Chains A and B, each alone.
Chain A
């Protein structure tokens, strides 16, 4: 990092933040503060939806995922287009017709106040906890890379987001997200092109594709039906459909984005835009990870991509062992580089026998490299107890810091900050909307004027941001907190989706039956969490089905009691 990088980094961030705050200053009504006056065109809605979903960890992890595991993660998104179509047909016109501020308001129209409050409460629980992680996860990586304290990074991200979300509300979130997503995609593609440009001369883009395919990185589709395998086409289509229906249909951080559309048509097109572009966008990001993988076939990859941790380990007793492993790693790399050149030559000559032989050799060498890395991680873990040696999330950022020219390093860091800010902004706006509209206005102070509620929404945005920053600071002291928060999300998502599916599609069911089912369904999930080994991703489906099934049973019992009473 030099002064050019710092200027580019802070210049980019301050420009976006100031523009968002200035352009949307003085939002006076609830309509303008929470829904941006319903003025957004479809492309703005679509970009906002995509920016909300893509957090900083998405970009850092996805490229690292492709680098280590190939492109099979893409299948996770296969249920998304179908979910977009279903929600465009059902949820979007309904929400617009009822002119709701939040998704949970609709539940009062369909059921009653208690069901609405319960769903809003579940949402605040899950999203309130995850906003801390949305700030914490990239802060951890950035603070490691930049050598800053984690608290400084979390406060910096939180404060920058607050600067425009408090003043401009929902519209500020959408306006800034357009520019943030533009910076993110431009930066990511630039990094991919630089990785490609640094390959040995004569290797074409098509040959990087062929190379990745031959060494098993283009594992895009797995047709086998296996419940224990996280990524196959069936888990993507079925599990992904459930997940994305609940995320886009019942999570206010996404519902708030398309409710800002100027009409049903604009909101629908925004969602369908996401349905069309999300998978290609993920493909591009994954392929950037693949280009970095190909780049490291011809250039020495670090023994550990988390360079700061490796440097720290070199100051401990483990240093001689790590140095020994590092020397072996260098030797293995030279072998692998020679084989990689052979494979490229065989691809260029289209010599099938040589291709098979070279790729067999490369796979064997990769196994040796992987073993050396595992040994290094073990050495680090024993020297620094509690050190997180998983370095997948550092692959991309370490490449950027090492190989990109000055100026672009600053831009790519702005990408990571922008991605963190765009997701955080939507989450804060959704938390403020839900707590202001569904809890404060509905149950605490129902008879105040518009200005009062806008002021309350602003204060609630600040409160949730402080909560997020504090949670992110505490996260530093807890192990496995990211996984813990993912579990919390899964514990509530299924139940919330169950309530909404009952509301949308099952006219037979009435409020009290759904309300009781939602409480019992949640209790079942909490029981599964504490007393069974059921994989937490399955909570989404189990919670949803439990709510629907229980609501049916309870409704049948209620109807029988009612008919018996009326008969008597």
Chain B
């Protein structure tokens, strides 16, 4: 599967992979944040 389909120009990022990484990084950051909150009060 190509990163950018023919005829499609995704906005903001030139490559779709950047979006996928962004979603995963935000997810990881949230897990770390929530883990920190949980540990702070346990």
Contact = CB atoms under 8 A, between A and B. Distances in A.
Contact of A81 (B9, B11, B23, B41): B23
A216 B41 CA distance: 7
B26 A233 contact: no
A279 B33 CA distance: 12
A223 B1 CA distance: 35
A222 B38 CA distance: 8
Contacts of B35: 220-221, 223
A280 interface: yes
Interface in B6-40: 8-11, 16, 19-20, 22-24, 26-27, 30-31, 34-35, 37-38, 40
Residue among B5, B16, B37, B41 with max Cβ neighbours from chain A (10 Å): B41
Contacts of B8: 263-265
Contact of B30 (A90, A214, A280): A280
Interface residues of A, number: 31
B20 to A, nearest CB: 5
Interface string A74-99: 10001001101100111001000000
* Binding site secondary structure of chain A: helix
A184 to B, nearest CB: 22
Given A88-B20, A214-B41, A219-B38, A93 B10 contact: no
Contacts of A264: 5, 8
B24 A220 contact: no
A276 interface: yes
A269 interface: yes
Given A81-B24, A276-B26, A213 B40 contact: yes
A93 B41 CA distance: 44
A268 interface: yes
A491 to B, nearest CB: 30
A218 B19 contact: no
Contact of A269 (B11, B30, B42): B11
B41 to A, nearest CB: 3
A275 interface: yes
A518 interface: no
A265 B9 contact: yes
Contacts of A81: 23-24, 26-27
Contacts of B30: 279-280
A219 B1 CA distance: 40
A89 B23 CA distance: 13
Given A218-B37, A221-B35, A268-B16, A93 B23 contact: no
Contacts of A82: 24, 27
Q: Which of A88, A93, A265, A268 has the most CB of B within 10 A?
A: A265
Contacts of A84: 23
A213 B37 contact: yes
Nearest to A277: B26
B5 A85 contact: no
A275 B27 contact: yes
Contacts of A220: 34-35, 37-38
Interface string A264-284: 110011001001100110000
Contacts of A214: 41
Contacts of B5: 93, 264-265
Contacts of B1: 89-90, 93
A265 B34 contact: no
B31 A221 contact: yes
Interface string A56-74: 0000000000000000001
Interface string A442-456: 000000000000000
Contact of B27 (A216, A223, A268, A279): A279
Contacts of B10: 265, 268-269
A264 B31 CA distance: 29
A374 to B, nearest CB: 26
A78 B27 contact: yes
A405 to B, nearest CB: 32
A336 B8 CA distance: 61
Contacts of B19: 88, 268-269, 272
Contacts of A88: 16, 19-20
A203 B20 CA distance: 40
Contacts of A93: 1, 5
A74 to B, nearest CB: 7
Contacts of A272: 19-20, 22-23
Given A93-B1, A265-B8, A233 B31 contact: yes
B11 A85 contact: no
Nearest to B5: A264
Contacts of A42: 11
B35 to A, nearest CB: 5
Nearest to B21: A85
B6 to A, nearest CB: 10
B26 A221 contact: no
Given A78-B31, A85-B20, A269-B10, 4 more contacts: A78-B27, A89-B20, A223-B35, A276-B23
22 contacts: A42-B11, A74-B34, A78-B27, A78-B31, A85-B20, A85-B23, A88-B20, A90-B1, A93-B1, A218-B38, A220-B34, A220-B38, A221-B31, A221-B34, A221-B35, A223-B35, A264-B5, A265-B9, A265-B10, A265-B11, A268-B19, A276-B22
